[in-house]
Amino acid sequence: MAEGARLESLVEYILQYVGAPYSAEKRVEFRKSDGEPAGTLLLDFMAEWQGEKVAIEVMAGRLFPERFERAFRLHRMLGTGGTASLLLLVVERPLTPRMQAWLDGRQRGGIPMKVLSVAQLPAWFGREMLLDLSDERALDALRLAAHAPSSAAPEARLASAMAEGAQAGAERQQLQNLKRFFDDRVVDRLAERPDSLVEKLKIGRVVEDVTVLMSDIKNFSSFVKHAPADRLNEAMGGYYRAARRIVWNHGGVLDKFIGDAVLAIFGYPEADPLSARRAAQCGRDLVLLGDRIVGDLMRNINDVIESGTRVGLATGEVRVMNLSDDGIEPTFVGDVINRAARLEKECGVNRILMDQVTYRRIEDDREQDDVFPTPDDFMRGILESSKAKGQVHDQWSWSVDCGTPPPLSDLIAQLRGGKGVAQDAAEPVDEAEAMAEAEAGEPVRPRPRGRAKPSG
């Protein structure tokens, strides 16, 4: 809000707070002593106080002598027509003694003219002001007080408004803090809803039909041990930023990073019938992103490390908990999270392994066969109960290939079999550009990588 508009709004809400009847943008007609029209002027406010009419003019910004010419004209013309008995000039801050002395010396004829800072205005009307009017939140508090029940005393209305404003301010800050977990668009939608933040985020409640994503880079601890520290730090900093953006772009909530692992929830805080498919598409992009990270690190070490990204998806219900003592920090618990973690552990490199419920959700919402994952992408398998903690029976699982180059194990097998290998000619990839694409929400493109070719 422009400073001039804010100052006018403050004056208007102060008039409501003190209970002074007023009209805004009052057009006043002036007449000569013989009754002939002399012209019109537009006043910011015309108020009534203790049986007198008070003209109010608002002057925002820096004050210098030339700016008072309109005020001098007003106070002379108001005096001739008997329209008002006093002219109040409301400014942002008190005048300096030198400016006040100059102003007093210029007043000749007309009605009295008094200059008040906006902070002095309530006291002039005989009311105590309980807040700092220079604070940006003062306008909101006065607005709330102006619309409170008129039967309450002004001071009580303002005190209640201040408390309500403080609560609203705390919630705004909590919403800002949620941007660690949610995309800005989700936070904006939450801010528009009238219910409390606890209700918006369903704290303490069970949320059904969410899809949990757990991803992990295989053997990442080996990179930590062997990769140059500066290269590792740069690669992982970019990975965290890009992974967060990928989750958000697919409509997910980032619960946490656990080292190189990503835990994300889809279908929360707003229900989403496409949450399973969005989670699968997010998983694919995380696999492709991880492929770039692994390739970059492998170029800077001598060790042969089989790696790649594994993604587990499971659909079910979670309970939303709050980790913070003095704010809102949502986290999730439930058997479905454990199931997603077990699926990730049993998943092949650069693939997604999902439970039967997630697979059915994806198949049920299918509208076209060329949207990932397609029917041809799935392979059915069984997750043995011994590998799924807390499960009595074996469970169906479905595996999806994410379209990356063959894992390093294929290359190692050929080398150990005595066959030489040659690298495909591939256009060099700009890793910084690839990371920027992921952070900006662009689809992550598979990175060309040499394939093993028999030399003989």
Structure tokens at 57: 């003019």
Return d(Cα 30, Cα 77) in angstroms, integer.
7
Burial 252-281 (b: 16+ CB within 10 A, else e): bbbbeeeebbbbbbbbbbeebebbbbbbbb
Average pLDDT, the chain: 77
Do 125 and 204 lie in one domain? The reply is: no
Return d(Cα 453, Cα 456) in angstroms, integer.
9
Q: Is residue 145 part of a domain?
A: no
Mean predicted confidence (pLDDT) in 235-250: 93
Do 116 and 214 lie in one domain? The reply is: no
Number of domains present in the structure of the chain: 2
Q: What is the CATH number of the domain that holds 67?
A: 3.40.1350.10
Q: Kindly indicate the confidence band of residue 106, based on its pLDDT and cuts at 50, 70 and 90.
A: confident
* Residue ending a domain, choose from 114, 129, 144: 129
* Residue range of the domain that includes 309: 197-439
Q: Is residue 366 part of a domain?
A: yes
> Does position 243 have pLDDT exceeding 90, yes or no?
yes
* Residue ending a domain, choose from 90, 105, 129: 129
Strands of 201-277 (E only): list them.
206-217, 252-258, 261-266
> Does position 140 have pLDDT exceeding 60, yes or no?
yes
How many residues are given for the chain?
456
Query: How high is the pLDDT of residue 280?
Result: 94
Query: How high is the pLDDT of residue 254?
Result: 94
Query: How high is the pLDDT of residue 203?
Result: 92
CA distance between the termini of the chain: 75
CB-count burial class (<10 Å; 0-12, 13-18, 19+) for 432: exposed
Q: Is residue 445 part of a domain?
A: no
Q: Is residue 325 part of a domain?
A: yes
- State pLDDT tens for residues 350-385: 999 999 999 999 988 777 666 788 877 888 888 777
Do 414 and 297 lie in one domain? The reply is: yes
Query: How high is the pLDDT of residue 331?
Result: 93
Mean predicted confidence (pLDDT) in 125-139: 70
Spacing of C-alpha 262 from chain mean position: 20
Rounded to a whole number of angstroms, the CA Rg of the chain reads 34
Mean predicted confidence (pLDDT) in 24-49: 68
Q: Is residue 60 part of a domain?
A: yes
Strands 52-59 and 86-91: parallel
Least confident of 229-243, 283-297, 435-449: 435-449
- The CA-based dihedral angle spanning residues 12, 18, 19, 25, taken in that order and rounded to the nearest 10 degrees: -20
Query: How high is the pLDDT of residue 453?
Result: 39
Q: Is residue 59 part of a domain?
A: yes
Query: How high is the pLDDT of residue 57?
Result: 85
Least confident of 129-143, 246-260, 296-310: 129-143
**Helix H segments across 147-228?**
154-177, 184-192, 197-200, 220-226
Residue 37, preceding bond cis, omega within 30 degrees? no
Query: How high is the pLDDT of residue 368?
Result: 61
Spacing of C-alpha 218 from chain mean position: 32
Do 79 and 227 lie in one domain? The reply is: no
Do 206 and 124 lie in one domain? The reply is: no
Contact 431, 379 (CB under 8 A): no
Query: How high is the pLDDT of residue 352?
Result: 95
Do 202 and 116 lie in one domain? The reply is: no
SS3 182: coil
Percent of the chain's residues with pLDDT above 70: 69
* Residue ending a domain, choose from 83, 113, 129: 129
Strands 37-49 and 52-59: antiparallel
Mean predicted confidence (pLDDT) in 7-29: 79
Residue 269, preceding bond cis, omega within 30 degrees? yes
Query: How high is the pLDDT of residue 285?
Result: 93
Q: What is the CATH number of the domain that holds 203?
A: 3.30.70.1230
pTM above 0.75?
A: no
Least confident of 65-79, 173-187, 314-328: 65-79
> Does position 51 have pLDDT exceeding 80, yes or no?
yes
Least confident of 140-154, 278-292, 296-310: 140-154
Nearest to 225 by CA among 305, 117, 110, 324: 305
Return d(Cα 117, Cα 88) in angstroms, integer.
10
> Does position 168 have pLDDT exceeding 70, yes or no?
no
Q: Kindly indicate the confidence band of residue 421, based on its pLDDT and cuts at 50, 70 and 90.
A: very low
Burial 340-350 (b: 16+ CB within 10 A, else e): bbbbbebbbbb
> Does position 435 have pLDDT exceeding 50, yes or no?
yes
User: What count of Cα atoms within 13 Å lies in the side-chain half-sphere of residue 328?
Assistant: 23
Q: Kindly indicate the confidence band of residue 55, based on its pLDDT and cuts at 50, 70 and 90.
A: confident
Q: Is residue 359 part of a domain?
A: yes
